[in-house]
Structure 1
Amino acid sequence: MFDPHHLTVLADTLPNPGPKAPPGMGKTFSDWISWGKYVGMFAGVMGFIACGIMMMIGRRNRSHLSAEGAGGLVWVIAGISTVTLSVGIVTAMMGG
């Protein structure tokens, strides 16, 4: 007969260690994260510049372009927020 209590006891006995870098890879992983953040920072700056240019060009007789630039700001901010919070969110979820 199926006993759901037995599964709870089994789950309580399984180990749940925190994340650990393989030997010699800690600095390498840290470098990769740093490079990814740097690329994200560069892309965010370029995104803001592109949105600003679109808004300036679209000021006269091209209101659609200006609206696209203003709408793009939301996506740039969302992307920057995701890059900025990525390490904290993953660490919180994985228990690091």
Structure 2
Amino acid sequence: MLHAFLAAAIPNPGPEAPPGLGDLTNTILAWIKWGCLVSGVAGLMICGGMMILGRRNRNQLAIEGVSSTVWVFGGLALVATAAGLVSVVV
């Protein structure tokens, strides 16, 4: 009962960018996202190269390449869902 009263009494406005900063913020976030996607492509290429080079007599390098792809995909998934995750938390 008290929770419902407090929830109704406390205003909770949606997020709103300060005047003039919305376009700048979107541009910066777009650049960061682009950089993360380029880094993800480069990371997958590096992992593939490690698997290629570690094929014979250097199997530890190939194993590290395979295990590193998990981290690259995890990072890409986090970048792709960042806005949704933040909106759920906030």
Q: TM-score, normalised by structure 1?
A: 0.85
Structure 1 residues without counterparts, runs of 5 or longer:
none
Opposite residue 33 of structure 1, the aligned amino acid is L
Which ranges of 4 or more aligned residues in structure 1 deviate by more than 4 Å? none
Partner of 1:50: 46
Task: Output one character per residue of 1:56-78: Cα deviation in whole Å (capped at 9) or x when no partner.
Answer: 00000000000000000000000
Query: What's the CA shift string for 1:40-92, capped at 9, x where partnerless?
Result: 00110110011000000000000000000000000000000000110122123
- Residue 87 of structure 2 is aligned with which of 72, 79, 91? 91
Provide the C-alpha distance between the structure 2 equivalents of 1:45 and 1:11, rounded to a whole number of angstroms: 45
In the aligned structure 2, how far is the partner of 1:92 from the partner of 1:33?
18
Cα distance in 1 for residues equivalent to 2:40 and 2:57 = 28
> What 5-or-longer segments of structure 2 have no aligned partner?
none
Q: Distance in 2 between matches of 1:58 and 1:90?
A: 39
1:24 maps to 2:40: no
> Residues 29-40 of structure 1 correspond to what in structure 2 (within 5 A)?
29-40=25-36
> Equivalent pairs: percent with the same residue?
40
Count of residue pairs brought into register by the alignment: 90
RMSD: 1.5
TM-score (norm 2): 0.91
